[in-house]
Amino acid sequence: MSNQPKQIGKTFSFIFWGLLLVGLFYFFQDKLAKQENPNSNPNSYQVGDVQVLELQRNRYGHYVTSGMINQVDVEFMLDTGATNVAVPQAVANKVGLRKGRAVQVNTANGIATAYTTVIDQLNLGEIQLFDVKASIVPGMQGNQILLGMNVLKQVEFRQLGDQLTLKHHISNN
């Protein structure tokens, strides 16, 4: 008897299980990404002179959303504990922000050196803001930009359950 049919069966079984594992990996990777940022394509619209953005809380209890800085796609985390917008150095390089003067900032990890900068245009769905003060933080890990109170104080926001609604009145510019 030949072992060839047995070997072919083992080979096809190995290929099947390998493809199944790769498929499951990609399926669950997408699910996990949506749990981290359920607002990769946020619900946003304009009514009259009011720009509205509706965000869903992620599985960790944070509001994370995709947006743009100077027409480059980025990811924001709303942070009422941050005074200004805080941008990791790698993201600042990607969107073309220039370092201004050095300043000392208080972070969750203690005092750090950051650099002042100005974001020409910041987009959160339909909400557009111009000339936004920010800080470039070289030691900041990851690629999420902390959206601080200097932006959040320009919008009206209301939280109901796991949804946060931001409203920006254009006449306030």
Determine the average pLDDT of the residues in 45-66.
94
Q: So what's the pLDDT on residue 4? A: 78
pTM of the full structure: 0.77
- Listed residue (91, 61, 78, 37) closest to 161, CA to CA: 61
Residue 147, H or E segment: strand 144-147
H-helix or E-strand spanning residue 142: none
Instruction: Give the integer Cα–Cα distance in Å for 119 and 68.
Output: 10
Instruction: Indicate left, alpha or beta for 63 from its phi (over 0: left) and psi (-120 to 50: alpha).
Output: beta
What tens digit of pLDDT does each residue of 119-149 get? 999 999 989 999 999 999 998 989 999 999 9
How far apart are the two ends of the chain, measured CA to CA in Å?
84
pLDDT in tens, 95-123: 999 999 999 988 777 888 999 999 999 99
Mean pLDDT, residues 20-33 taken together:
64
Which band of pLDDT confidence, cut at 50, 70 and 90, is reported for residue 7? confident
Give the phi and the psi of residue 32 in degrees, each rounded to 5. Answer: -65, -40
